[in-house]
Amino acid sequence: MKDHELQDLVKKISASLFGKPFRHQAYFNPKLRSTGGRYLLGTHNIEINKKYLEQLGEVELIGIIKHELCHYHLHLEGKGYQHRDNDFKLLLIKVGAPRHCSRLPEAPKKRTFKKVLIYECTQCHLQYNRKRSINTSKYVCGKCRGKLVKTKEMILE
């Protein structure tokens, strides 16, 4: 699908579902990575991630277009066009647009790592477990005011 075909599809969906014309540009943006599409407030254009069409098909593409058209029409009408706005949520339901696009199959699954830093007081040997590193020249032991030293750094899956 080329940009002009996307433009025609967006105009068709806008007219049939919203009953309003789409008067701006819709095009594929190859730089989009983490989202299916976006509505640009300044230019009123809609950008679409072509990978969603290639990997998930036209049904997913139409869902993304509906979602972005909800932003588009509500913004131009001066209504709540953001995800948190009630106007936006109601229009999504009315036109059958998804709230979020699906995950791309090629996208790597997020792996969560938990970093644990263990600091120990040199005087009383009290241990402190921290997620973030601390400045040992600035902070001291809360029990005896002794010097803290980092003893271990562990990464848990």
* Residues designated as active site: 68
* Tokens read off for 39: 């509505």
Alpha-carbon distance of 72 to 120, in angstroms, equals: 56
Q: What are phi and psi of 14, to 5 degrees?
A: -60, -45
| Separation of alpha carbons 94 and 92, rounded Å | 6
Question: What are 27's strand-pairing partners?
Answer: 47
Angle at 155 between CA 149 and CA 157, to 5 degrees: 155
Structure tokens at 55: 């990997």
Say if residues 143 and 128 touch (Cβ distance below 8 Å).
no
Token duo for residue 98: 């998804």
